[in-house]
Chain A
């Protein structure tokens, strides 16, 4: 009827065919039942239409057999659907080892993307084809949602925590990137594009982008600037736990519990050091709440992650700056971003 009327989005990720298969299956199920019900209703309405004003049909009470049939068959169908769809969900969240990590910060009304290699982008994301990419998402202000229809993935960027999801692009091209969680005035303009490149062209893009400093190196610089290195020393004699080889391992906490040293744990430990103290250490670390931006936190996380690599991080020099004073009685109120400060001045 309409030329160029699209009905389905492009499939450009490894999970997209799985989601589409589920979608077509559900369309088939829905179509079958809708047509069945519609046909029966229309047929009965015509076949048993009222022929005289005085007719009284014979009453039918019901049928246990039929009730069972239309309880159990739908039940079986939905249980099957449940299992299938949950497996697809798992496939979206179980990140394959060696995935390329990309940090994404949502901010009204833009997406700020940082690659491990240091490239930064705004409202754009360049990824190579055929490589699993793990997105680590957070937000500086309100809840946003990172949505790439062609990849069939979406994840909320929630302030104060990290969410993640992964994808593997399968076709070079440029695709839409949307914010799917309502975030204020320009919600509908918080859009951008995802560019999928052939590996060679991706390499060229990487080198062509002039920033040069990798995320981990930026994190290392910050690590030194904040004098974290005074306590977290590589030679295990510092007042804080050694961070080399820590990332991804399980750590034993003072309370006897354990925690996995993942992105969220590292982030939490920077912002709320007293929360989950590693067994054997004193809770002496001050909070860095308000001193490090969300992007800075991601750089620190990337740096600590790089320390876990077998070859270790780069050797650390002795810092010259003194440790920052304890931010006493600090209420943990980070400096509001400029536009937020304006919002707070509401009547």
Chain B
């Protein structure tokens, strides 16, 4: 058993994470019914990110995995965020600096 990913996680950790995920699901439904102005989307996303983080760290054992796995996970999401930002940047800034057409 040299592979770090073979770490055996106690069952109670899984059950605890499971409970937390259910609570967060309820929370996200409840929060959606509140009017937080511009904050609705960020809050919903923050909850989704926390849930995803719980699944990744515990169910998927990344917490007990070598650094390389952390890098792969992080770069996957970072890369998507980056490409999204690059694309959205075009749409958001169309009014800046004298957009063609205006």
Which residues does A use to contact B, with CB under 8 Å?
A: 90, 93-94, 136, 155, 161-165, 260, 262-264
Contact = CB atoms under 8 A, between A and B. Distances in A.
Interface string B59-102: 00000000000000000000000000000000000010010111
Nearest to A162: B101
A162 B101 CA distance: 6
A10 B64 CA distance: 68
Contact of B101 (A90, A94, A263): A263
Contacts of A90: 98
Does more than half of chain A's interface fall in helix, strand or loop, or is it mixed? mixed
Grouping DSSP codes into helix (H, G, I), strand (E, B) and loop, the B interface class, with mixed when no group exceeds half, is: loop
Contacts, number: 21
B102 A165 contact: no
A93 B102 contact: no
Closest 6 CB pairs of A and B: A262-B102, A162-B101, A264-B101, A164-B101, A164-B100, A163-B100
A89 B41 CA distance: 37
Contacts of A262: 101-102
Contacts of B100: 93, 155, 163-165
A161 B95 CA distance: 14
Nearest to A92: B100
A93 B102 CA distance: 10
A106 to B, nearest CB: 15
Interface residues of B, number: 5
21 contacts: A90-B98, A93-B98, A93-B100, A94-B98, A136-B101, A155-B100, A161-B101, A162-B101, A163-B100, A163-B101, A164-B100, A164-B101, A165-B100, A260-B95, A260-B102, A262-B101, A262-B102, A263-B101, A263-B102, A264-B101, A264-B102
Contacts of A164: 100-101
A245 to B, nearest CB: 18
Contacts of A136: 101
Given A90-B98, A94-B98, 10 more contacts: A93-B98, A93-B100, A136-B101, A164-B100, A164-B101, A262-B101, A263-B101, A263-B102, A264-B101, A264-B102
A155 B101 CA distance: 11
B99 to A, nearest CB: 8
Most chain B CB within 10 A, of A90, A94, A163, A264, is at A264
Of listed B95, B98, B100, B102, residue having the most chain A CB within 10 A: B100
A66 to B, nearest CB: 32
A247 to B, nearest CB: 12
Nearest to B94: A264
A262 B99 CA distance: 11
A203 B100 CA distance: 29
B101 to A, nearest CB: 5
Contacts of A260: 95, 102
Nearest to A258: B95
Nearest to B102: A262
B62 to A, nearest CB: 37
Contacts of B102: 260, 262-264
A264 B94 CA distance: 12
A322 B95 CA distance: 37
A91 to B, nearest CB: 12
A64 to B, nearest CB: 28
Contacts of A93: 98, 100
Contacts of A94: 98
A214 B102 CA distance: 22
Nearest to A265: B102
